[in-house]
């Protein structure tokens, strides 16, 4: 409990290497424990979900963001406040659907994949699937529905894995993660539980 005492809104610094290596150890251990990549992806998503449903409380308490009035504002808060707060990065928001109820988050410098080179026998592993799980969990708690974008799914480009690049315009980034976010509901349900 005393640990919580000093927590303010400012983010604390920690070694990014330690974080990256810890996550790497987690994923490789899962790869050893499960036989195929699909199961590992599922497990990562489940873990992320459990993190997300708790993290949203922390986020709402510490970030002091108010209600979001429209979906674009929600997207901005996720990218510029939430990602900044917990990972220290700001993903870019692109690929808005014409109806404005779906978008992609592109992580240009994902700290999770700093040293990672995916071996050939894990080609269908989505290394950072934990992040998708976190988003899914957190957004579910504020009554938004998250799912990887239809058709596009989650595309990852890990360092040195040129053949996985989804398209030319984003190929310069070491990791590109495309996720979709569906706005299932009308504006009222987008309001954040305060």
Partner 1 sequence: MAVCIAVIAKENYPLYIRSIPTENELKFHYTVHTSLDVVDEKISAMGKALVDQRELYLGLLYPTEDYKVYGYVTNSKVKFVMVVDSSNTALRDNEIRSMFRKLHNSYTDVMCNPFYNPGDCIHSRAFDNMVTSMMMQVC
CB 42 to partner 1: min, Å: 19
Residue 50: its H or E element:
helix 37-63
Q: Give yes or no for residue 25 binding partner 1 (CB under 8 A).
A: yes
DSSP 11: P
Is residue 17 involved in binding partner 1 (CB under 8 A)?
yes
Rule CB under 8 A: say whether 188 interacts with partner 1: no
Smallest distance from partner 1 to CB 31, Å: 8
> Residue 89 interacts with partner 1 (CB under 8 A)?
no
Contact flag: residue 193 with partner 1 (CB under 8 A): no
Residue with tokens 């990218």: 79
Q: Which residues contact 107 (CB under 8 A, 6 or more apart)?
A: 89, 91, 128, 131, 173, 175, 176, 177
Of residues 149 through 178, those in contact with partner 1 by CB under 8 A are 159-161
User: Under the criterion CB under 8 A, does residue 35 sit at the interface with partner 1?
Assistant: no
Q: CA 147 to CA 22: how far, in whole Å?
A: 26
Residue listed under structure tokens 């009308």? 186
The dihedral through the CA atoms of 174, 98, 135, 62 has a sign that is: positive
Decide if residue 61 touches partner 1 (CB under 8 A). Answer: no
In our burial notation (b when 16+ CB lie closer than 10 A, e otherwise), range 171-183 reads eebbbbbbbbbbb
The residue from 6, 8, 98, 119 that contacts partner 1 (CB under 8 A) is 119
CB of 157 to partner 1, least distance (A): 13
Smallest separation, CB 36 to partner 1 (Å)? 16
Q: Is 116 in the site for partner 1 (CB under 8 A)?
A: yes
Task: Please state, in angstroms and rounded to a whole number, the distance separating the CA atoms of residues 18 and 64.
Answer: 29
Interface residue list for partner 1 (CB under 8 A): 17, 20-21, 23-25, 27-28, 114-119, 122, 159-161
């Amino acid at each position: 409990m005393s640990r919580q005492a000093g927590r303010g809104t400012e983010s604390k610094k920690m070694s990014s290497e330690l974080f990256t290596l810890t996550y790497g150890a987690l994923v490789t251990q899962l790869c050893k424990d499960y036989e195929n990549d699909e199961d590992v992806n599922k497990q990562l998503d489940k873990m992320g979900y459990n993190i997300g449903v708790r993290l949203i409380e922390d986020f709402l308490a510490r970030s002091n963001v108010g209600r979001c009035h429209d979906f674009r504002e929600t997207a901005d808060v996720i990218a510029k406040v939430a990602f900044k707060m917990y990972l220290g990065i700001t993903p870019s928001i692109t690929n808005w659907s014409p109806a404005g109820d779906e978008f992609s988050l592109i992580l240009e410098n994902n700290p999770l994949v700093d040293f990672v080179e995916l071996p050939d026998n894990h080609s269908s592993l989505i290394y950072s699937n934990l992040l998708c799980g976190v988003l899914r969990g957190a957004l579910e708690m504020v009554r938004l529905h998250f799912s990887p974008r239809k058709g596009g799914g989650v595309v990852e480009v890990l360092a040195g894995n040129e053949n996985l690049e989804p398209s030319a315009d984003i190929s310069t980034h070491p990791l590109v993660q495309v996720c979709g976010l569906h706005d299932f509901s009308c504006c009222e349900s987008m309001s954040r539980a305060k």
